[in-house]
C-alpha cells in the first residue's frame, strides 16, 4: 500500500494524506471517533479491501443514489470520513470484514480514477475547536439533553453518558460523540456528517435530541394510556360479568325494561303492517343482543325513528278564508299574486279535503319574504311548519338518507323534518332550491324529483327507513332567487310564482308597519323613545340601500335603534329621539349610493339601458367612443357571450340601415368603435340591452345625441324587430328610482305593466316599440351636433328635447305612449 495512506499513530490521523481510496456506503454513516464493523462485498470495495492493511487509511463516503450497484463519482456525497483500518478478516462468500475507526472529515476536491476502485484527491474538512461562551452553552445543553434522553431510552447506557460528559473539548467532538450513540434517520445522520462548522453541527444534534425526547415522551404517554385503557376494559368486563349474574338472579327485569317500553310503543303505533313486522323482527334482535354490542345502539335508534314518525298523525285544516286572508295581510305587505294563489288553494281544499297538496315555487330577489311566507301559509292553514335548506347541498344521501350499514347513518332531511314537525301534512318549505349542487356523491336535484312529484311521493322511500312513507299530504313550498339554475325536470314539477322587488312606497309601508316596531322592540326601546319619520326612511332607501327586498333597510333601521339605545344608556340623550331626513347621516355615516342620473346630459354615443339581476333591477349605461381605424368594434366591461352577440347584431343592423340613418359607408371602414359598459368590475350578460346598444352605435356614427332621461330595454333581431324581455317589473322600479322620465319597452311586454304598482306607473311615461327604427326615431335628436355634449340650457334650435307620443317615420310607426300605464 502507498505510504501516504498510512495513519500516523502519533497524531491519530489529524493530518490526512492528499488522496485516499474510497469505499461508498449505502446506509451506514460513520462519524469521527466511531468504530464500525463493515462487511465489504461489492467489486470495487473488495479491490480496496484487498490492498489496504492494518493502520492504512480509507475514505468512507455516503452513496446518495441508492439504486446504483457500482456508484460513479456523481452518485457520492462530497463530504466523507477518513477511517483507519483496525482489523481485516476474509470471510467465506467473497466478503471481507473490515473493522474501521473514523478519524476526521474530508472534502473531495477531485476524483483521480474510478477503476479498479474509486480514488479521490481530498482536503481536510475539520475545523479546530474554538472555546467560546456560545460553544460552552451549546455543549452544556447538548450534554443535558443527552442525559435526559438516556433516562427515557433504555438503549443508551450510563457508560455512554459518562463518556460524552468527559469528552467536552469542543462542539464538533461532542456532536460526533452523541451522534455515534443515537439511533437516527439517515437524513439526520447525513446532515450532521456534512455540517463542517462545529457549532452548526452541535445545533443540529440539539434539535434532533429535542425531537427524540418529545417522541419518547409521547410514546410513554401513549403506552401509559393504553395500559390504563386495558385496565379499564378488564375492570368493566369483570363488572359486566357480575352485573350479568345479578340480572340473572333478578330475572333480568331491569335490563329488559327499556326494551319492553319500546316494544309497547311499536305495537301501539300506526305503522303499516309490513313496516310493523320488520320493526318487531328488529326488536326481537335487539332484546337478544347485549347492550354493550355496537349494533345495539344502531338498531334502537332505527326503531325509535320508526316509532316517532307521524305515519297517521295529521293536523286538521281549520280553513276560514277570512281569517287566512287577515293572517297573510298581517304578516306580509303586498305580494297580492301569491296571496291570491294561496287563498285559491284554501278555497278548493275546503270544498275538496282529498285534494293533493300543490308544489309552489316562490321566485324572487333576496329579502322579499319568500321564506317567511311559508310560515304564514302554515298559520293560515292551521298546519305545522317544517323547513330545510338545500343551498349548497351536494350529497344525494342528504335527501334520501343513508343505508343503515354505514357508521353514523341517519334519515334524510325530509324524514328528519317530518319527525320534528310531528304531522304528515305540514307546510314544508324547501329553501334555496336554485342553489342545489351535485358531485361524485350523487345529484340531490334528481332525488327531489321523487319528493316533489304528486304521483310518486305517496311512497317515498328513505334509504335509512327502507320503507315507503306517504308525502302526498305535505304542502311543499320551494323558494329560489332565479329559475335558470333549477334543472328543467325539477322546474317542471313546480308551480312558479314570481315575486318582484318592492317599490319605494311598499318599502316605506313595510318599514312603518313591520320593521321599525320590530327593531325598536329588539333594541329595548319604547314607542315614545324613538320616532323615525317617513322622509328619513326614504333617505335610507335612496342613499343607503339598493336591494329589491327589505333586508338592507332593516339592517340600517337596526343600526339607528342600536345607536339610540347606546346613547340613552350612556345618558347622552333623553326624551323622544326623532330621526328626520337631515339627521340620518349622523347615524349611518356618508351615503353609500348616489343617483345614477346626477349630472347626466344628452350626449353622443351614450344610451341608458335597464338590466335585471337576482337582487333587482339596475340602470345600465352603454358608452361608445370613435377613433380612426379599420372598422373594428372593441367591447369592454366584462360582457358575456350573449351581450357580445347583441353588440355584433346591433352593429350589423346599423350598417345595414346606414343609408336611412345618414351614415356614410366609409365610416364603417375608416372608424374604430370602442363600446364600454360600466362598471367594469361587474360581469354583465343577456340580450335585453339590444336596443340600448343600437342606440349608442347609431348615435356615435350619426353625431345625434341621445335623450338621457329615456331608459330602454329590449332584445333586437337582425331585421330590426324589438323582441320581448324578462324582469320588466324590476327594471321599471330601477328606472323610477333613478329619476328617469320615460321607459321604452317592447310592444309584447305591454302585458307586464299589470304587475307594476300603480304609483310607479303614474310617475313614468311608457313607450312601446315594435322595431328599432321606432326606438331611434324617439331617443335620438333630429340633428347632429359638432361636439359630444349638447348645450345644457335646452335652447339650441338644433336639438329636439321632446319625446313624441305619436311619431311617424317612413313605413314604421311607434304605438301610442301611455303615461301611467
Q: What is the CATH number of the domain that holds 353?
A: 3.40.50.300
Kindly indicate the confidence band of residue 681, based on its pLDDT and cuts at 50, 70 and 90: low
One domain for residues 435 and 345: yes
Give the CATH number of the domain where residue 55 resides: 2.30.130.40
Omega before residue 116 within 30° of 0, cis: yes
Single residue among 107, 124, 141 that ends a domain in this structure: 124
Q: What are the Cα distances from residue 218, in Å, to 25, 155, 208, 210, 812?
A: 33, 17, 15, 12, 89
Question: Alpha-carbon distance 394 to 387, whole Å?
Answer: 18
| CB burial string 93-126: b at 16+ within 10 A, e below | eeebebbbbbbbbbbbeebeeeeebbbbebeebb
- Max CA distance (Å), the chain: 121
In a domain, 621, yes or no: yes
Maximum mean pLDDT: which of 320-334, 598-612, 701-715, 775-789:
701-715
pTM confidence score: 0.59
C-alpha cell of residue 152: 427515557
Q: Is residue 805 part of a domain?
A: yes
What is the average pLDDT value for the chain, to the nearest integer? 82
CATH code of the domain containing 552? 1.10.8.60
pLDDT at residue 220, as a whole number: 81
**Residue 312 is inside which H or E element, if any?**
none
d(Cα 36, Cα 189) in Å, to the nearest integer? 15
| Structural domain contains residue 453 | yes
Cα torsion 151, 154, 156, 160 to 10°: value is: 70
d(C-alpha 576, C-alpha 562), whole Å: 15
63 beta partners: 76
Per the listing, cell 332593516 goes with 554
Question: CB–CB of 189/176 below 8 Å?
Answer: no
Contact 586, 679 (CB under 8 A): no
**Amino acid 607: pLDDT:** 92
Q: If you average pLDDT over residues 724-747, what whole number do you get? A: 89
**265 lies in the same domain as 282:** yes
Domain boundary among 463, 498, 533: 498
In sequence order, the 6+-apart residues with CB closer than 8 A to the CB of 252 are: none
> pLDDT for 565-581, tens place per residue?
998 888 888 888 898 98
What does the CA dihedral 350, 352, 356, 359 come to, rounded to 10 degrees? -50
Cβ-count burial 189-208 (b if 16+ within 10 Å, e if not): bbbbbbbeebbebbbbbbeb
Q: How many residues does the chain have?
A: 821
User: Last residue of some domain: 588, 619, 643?
Assistant: 588
Report in angstroms the alpha-carbon separations of 733 from 16, 45, 500, 614, 746. Answer: 93, 91, 10, 14, 17
Phi, psi of 438 (to 5 degrees): -160, 150
Cis status, amide bond into 679, omega within 30 of 0: yes
Least confident residue range of 229-233, 252-256, 455-459, 662-666: 252-256
CA nearest 776: which of 661, 665, 662, 664? 661
Domain of 810?
606-819
> Residues near 278 by Cβ (< 8 Å), separated by ≥ 6?
466, 467
Cα dihedral 294, 299, 301, 303, rounded to 10, equals: -170
Query: Does residue 354 carry a catalytic annotation?
Result: no
Any domain includes 218: no
Phi first, then psi, for residue 618 (nearest 5°) are: -140, 155
Cell matching residue 651: 352593429
Q: What are phi and psi of 677, to 5 degrees?
A: -120, 105
pLDDT band at 290 (very low <50, low <70, confident <90, very high): confident
Distance separating alpha carbons of residues 475 and 706, to the nearest angstrom: 52
pLDDT, tens digit, 9 for 90 and up, residues 133-155: 877 888 888 888 888 887 777 77
8-state DSSP, 820: T
Percent composition of the chain: helix, strand, coil (DSSP 3-state, to 5): 45, 20, 35
Residues 685-728: tens digit of each pLDDT = 888 889 999 999 999 998 899 998 899 999 999 998 999 998 88
647 Cβ contact partners less than 8 Å away, ≥ 6 residues apart: 633, 635, 639, 675, 693
One domain, residues 353 and 465 = yes
The answer to whether the beta carbons of residues 436 and 342 sit under 8 Å apart is no
C-alpha torsion 260→266→267→273, nearest 10: -150
DSSP 511: I
Of 696, 716, 745, 703, nearest to 653 by C-alpha is: 716
Are 648 and 509 within one domain?
Answer: no
The alpha-carbon radius of gyration of the chain (Å, integer) is 44
All three cell numbers of 761: 306607473
Angstrom distance (rounded) from CA 77 to CA 71 = 11
Is the model's pLDDT at 802 over the cut of 70?
no
Question: CA angle at residue 539 from 534 to 545, to 5 degrees?
Answer: 115
Question: What is the distance between the alpha carbons of residues 518 and 536, in angstroms, rounded to a whole number?
Answer: 17
In whole angstroms, give the CA distance from residue 422 to residue 228: 46
The percent of residues above 70 in pLDDT, for the chain, comes to 90
Q: How confident is the model at residue 561 (pLDDT cuts 50, 70, 90)?
A: very high
Q: Which three cell numbers stand for residue 606?
A: 351614450
Q: Which among 280, 339, 333 is positioned nearest to 307, based on CA atoms?
A: 280
Distance CA 358, CA 369 (A): 19
Candidate list 552, 646, 688, 699, residue with the active-site label = 688
Beta strands in 677-778 (DSSP E): 710-712, 715-716, 722-723, 742-746, 765-769
For the cut 80, the answer to whether the pLDDT of residue 799 exceeds it is no
Distance CA 477, CA 376 (A): 12
**How confident is the model over 415-434, as pLDDT tens digits?**
899 989 889 889 899 998 88
The Cα–Cα gap between 805 and 802 comes to: 9
Name which of 67-71, 515-519, 754-758 the model is least confident about.
67-71
Task: Give the three-state DSSP class for 390.
Answer: coil
- Whether pLDDT at 361 is above 80: yes
Note whether residue 186 is domain-resident: no
- How much is the pLDDT for 711? 92
Asked if residue 681 and residue 807 are part of one domain, the reply reads yes
H helix or E strand, kind and range, residue 516: helix 516-522
| 720 contacts 773 by C-beta, under 8 angstroms | yes
How far apart, in Å, are the Cα atoms of 593 and each of 546, 663, 737?
8, 39, 12
Report how far apart, in Å, the C-alpha atoms of 351 and of each of 320, 327, 348, 358 are.
12, 21, 5, 15
Residues 54 and 103 in one domain: yes
For 313, the 3-state DSSP assignment is coil
Distance, CA of 175 to CA of 487 (rounded, Å): 69
pLDDT at 101 > cutoff 80 = yes
In this structure, the answer to whether residues 691 and 766 fall within a common structural domain is yes
Number of folded domains in the chain?
A: 5
Higher pLDDT, residue 815 or 411:
411
688 flagged as catalytic: yes
d(CA 337, CA 109): 91
Mean pLDDT of 372-376: 86
Contact 701, 626 (CB under 8 A): yes
Annotated catalytic residue, options 556, 684, 731, 761: 731
SS3 557: helix
pLDDT in tens, 442-451: 788 888 888 8
The C-alpha cell at 323 is 281569517
The answer on 536 and 461 residing in a single domain is: no
Identify whether 208 is part of a domain.
no
Give every strand in the sheet of 818-819, ordered side by side.
633-636, 671-676, 616-628, 606-613, 710-712, 742-746, 765-769, 818-819
Instruction: Give the three cell numbers for residue 787.
Output: 361636439
Domain co-membership, 395 together with 523: no
In a domain, 184, yes or no: no
Is 646:693 a contact under the CB 8 Å cutoff? Answer: yes
102: in domain: yes
Q: What's the pLDDT band for 441 if we cut at 50, 70, 90?
A: confident
Question: What mean pLDDT do residues 399-413 have?
Answer: 85
CB contact at 8 A, 45 and 71: no
pLDDT band of residue 821 (cuts 50, 70, 90) is very low
The reply to whether 696 and 810 lie within a common domain is yes
pLDDT surpassing 80 at residue 189: yes
Same domain, 665 and 778: yes
- 676, 636 in Cβ contact below 8 A? yes
Q: At what angle do helices 133-152 and 158-166 cross, to 10 degrees?
A: 180
Give 801's pLDDT tier (boundaries 50, 70, 90). Answer: very low
Which CA distances in Å does 270 have to 274, 275, 353, 414, 457? 11, 10, 22, 20, 19
| DSSP summary character for residue 780 | B
Residues 333 and 478 in one domain: yes
| Sign of the alpha-carbon torsion through 744, 747, 752, 754 | positive
Reference 769, options 731, 706, 722, 819; nearest CA is 722
Amino acid at each position: 500500500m502507498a505510504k501516504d495512506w498510512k495513519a500516523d499513530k502519533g497524531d491519530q490521523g489529524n493530518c490526512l494524506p492528499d488522496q485516499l481510496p474510497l469505499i461508498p456506503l449505502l446506509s451506514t454513516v460513520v462519524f469521527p471517533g466511531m468504530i464500525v464493523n463493515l462487511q465489504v462485498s461489492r467489486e470495487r470495495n473488495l479491490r480496496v479491501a484487498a490492498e489496504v492493511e492494518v493502520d492504512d487509511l480509507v475514505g468512507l463516503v455516503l452513496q446518495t443514489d441508492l439504486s446504483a450497484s457500482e456508484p460513479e463519482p456523481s452518485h457520492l456525497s462530497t463530504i466523507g470520513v477518513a477511517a483507519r483500518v483496525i482489523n481485516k478478516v476474509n470471510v467465506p462468500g467473497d466478503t471481507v470484514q473490515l473493522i474501521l475507526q473514523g478519524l476526521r472529515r474530508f472534502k473531495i476536491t477531485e476524483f483521480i480514477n474510478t477503476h479498479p476502485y474509486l480514488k479521490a484527491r481530498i482536503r481536510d474538512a475539520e475545523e479546530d475547536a474554538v472555546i467560546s461562551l456560545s460553544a460552552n452553552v451549546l455543549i452544556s445543553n447538548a450534554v443535558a439533553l443527552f442525559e435526559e434522553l438516556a433516562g427515557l431510552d433504555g438503549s443508551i447506557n450510563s457508560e455512554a453518558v459518562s463518556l460524552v460528559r468527559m469528552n467536552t473539548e469542543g462542539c464538533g467532538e461532542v456532536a460526533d460523540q452523541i451522534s455515534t450513540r443515537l439511533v437516527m434517520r439517515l437524513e439526520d445522520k447525513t446532515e450532521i456528517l456534512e455540517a463542517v462548522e462545529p457549532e452548526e453541527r452541535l445545533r443540529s444534534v440539539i434539535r434532533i435530541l429535542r425531537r427524540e425526547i418529545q417522541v419518547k415522551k409521547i410514546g410513554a404517554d401513549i403506552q401509559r394510556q393504553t395500559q390504563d385503557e386495558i385496565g379499564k376494559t378488564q375492570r368493566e368486563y369483570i363488572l359486566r360479568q357480575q352485573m350479568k349474574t345479578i340480572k340473572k338472579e333478578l330475572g333480568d327485569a331491569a335490563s329488559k325494561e327499556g326494551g319492553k317500553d319500546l316494544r309497547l310503543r311499536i305495537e301501539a303505533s300506526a305503522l303499516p303492517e309490513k313496516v310493523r313486522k320488520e320493526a318487531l323482527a328488529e326488536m326481537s334482535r335487539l332484546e337478544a343482543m347485549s347492550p354493550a354490542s355496537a349494533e345495539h345502539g344502531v338498531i334502537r335508534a332505527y326503531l325509535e325513528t320508526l316509532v316517532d314518525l307521524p305515519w297517521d298523525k295529521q293536523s286538521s285544516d281549520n280553513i276560514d278564508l277570512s281569517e287566512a286572508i287577515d293572517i297573510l295581510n298581517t304578516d306580509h305587505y303586498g305580494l297580492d299574486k301569491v296571496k291570491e294563489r294561496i287563498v285559491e288553494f284554501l278555497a278548493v281544499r275546503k270544498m275538496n279535503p282529498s285534494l293533493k297538496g300543490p308544489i309552489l315555487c316562490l321566485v324572487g330577489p333576496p329579502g322579499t319574504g319568500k321564506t317567511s311566507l311559508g310560515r304564514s301559509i302554515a298559520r293560515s292553514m292551521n298546519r305545522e311548519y317544517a323547513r330545510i335548506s338545500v343551498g349548497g347541498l351536494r350529497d344525494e344521501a342528504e335527501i334520501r338518507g343513508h343505508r343503515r350499514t354505514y357508521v353514523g347513518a341517519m334519515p334524510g332531511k325530509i324524514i328528519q323534518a317530518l319527525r320534528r314537525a310531528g304531522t304528515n301534512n305540514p307546510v314544508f318549505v324547501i329553501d334555496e332550491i336554485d342553489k342545489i349542487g351535485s358531485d361524485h356523491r350523487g345529484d340531490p336535484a334528481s332525488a327531489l324529483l321523487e319528493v316533489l312529484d304528486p304521483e310518486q311521493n305517496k311512497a317515498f322511500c328513505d334509504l335509512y327507513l327502507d320503507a315507503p312513507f306517504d308525502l302526498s299530504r305535505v304542502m311543499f313550498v320551494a323558494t329560489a332567487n332565479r329559475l335558470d339554475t333549477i334543472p328543467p325536470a325539477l322546474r317542471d314539477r313546480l308551480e312558479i310564482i314570481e315575486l318582484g322587488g318592492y317599490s319605494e312606497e311598499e318599502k316605506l309601508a313595510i318599514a312603518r308597519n313591520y320593521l321599525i316596531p320590530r327593531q325598536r322592540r329588539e333594541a329595548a326601546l319604547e314607542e315614545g323613545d324613538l320616532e323615525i319619520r317617513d322622509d328619513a326612511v326614504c333617505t335610507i332607501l335612496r342613499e343607503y340601500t339598493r336591494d329589491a327586498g327589505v333586508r338592507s333597510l332593516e339592517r340600517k333601521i337596526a343600526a339607528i335603534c342600536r345607536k339610540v339605545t347606546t346613547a340613552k344608556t350612556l345618558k347622552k340623550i333623553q326624551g323622544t329621539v326623532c330621526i328626520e331626513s337631515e339627521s340620518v347621516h349622523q347615524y349611518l355615516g356618508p351615503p353609500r349610493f348616489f343617483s345614477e342620473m346626477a349630472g347626466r346630459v344628452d350626449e353622443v354615443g351614450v344610451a341608458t339601458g335597464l338590466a335585471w339581476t337576482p337582487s333587482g333591477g339596475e340602470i345600465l349605461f352603454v358608452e361608445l367612443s370613435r377613433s380612426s381605424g379599420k372598422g373594428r368594434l372593441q367591447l369592454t366591461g366584462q360582457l358575456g357571450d350573449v351581450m357580445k352577440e347583441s353588440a355584433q347584431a346591433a352593429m350589423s343592423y346599423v350598417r345595414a340601415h346606414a343609408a336611412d340613418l345618414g351614415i356614410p359607408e366609409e365610416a364603417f371602414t375608416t372608424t374604430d368603435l370602442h363600446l364600454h359598459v360600466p362598471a367594469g368590475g361587474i360581469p354583465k350578460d343577456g340580450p335585453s340591452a339590444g336596443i340600448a346598444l343600437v342606440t349608442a352605435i347609431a348615435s356615435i356614427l350619426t353625431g345625434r345625441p341621445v335623450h338621457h332621461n329615456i331608459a330602454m330595454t329590449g332584445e333586437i333581431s337582425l331585421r330590426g324587430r324589438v323582441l320581448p324581455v324578462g324582469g320588466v317589473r324590476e327594471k321599471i322600479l330601477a328606472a323610477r328610482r333613478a329619476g328617469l322620465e320615460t321607459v321604452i319597452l317592447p310592444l309584447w311586454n305591454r302585458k307586464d305593466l299589470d304587475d307594476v304598482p300603480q304609483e310607479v306607473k303614474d310617475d313614468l311615461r311608457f313607450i312601446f316599440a315594435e322595431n328599432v327604427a321606432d326606438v331611434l326615431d324617439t331617443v335620438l335628436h333630429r340633428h347632429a351636433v359638432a361636439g359630444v355634449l349638447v348645450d345644457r340650457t335646452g335652447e339650441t334650435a338644433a336639438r329636439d328635447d321632446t319625446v313624441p307620443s305619436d311619431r311617424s317615420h317612413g313605413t314604421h310607426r311607434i304605438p301610442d305612449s301611455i303615461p301611467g300605464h
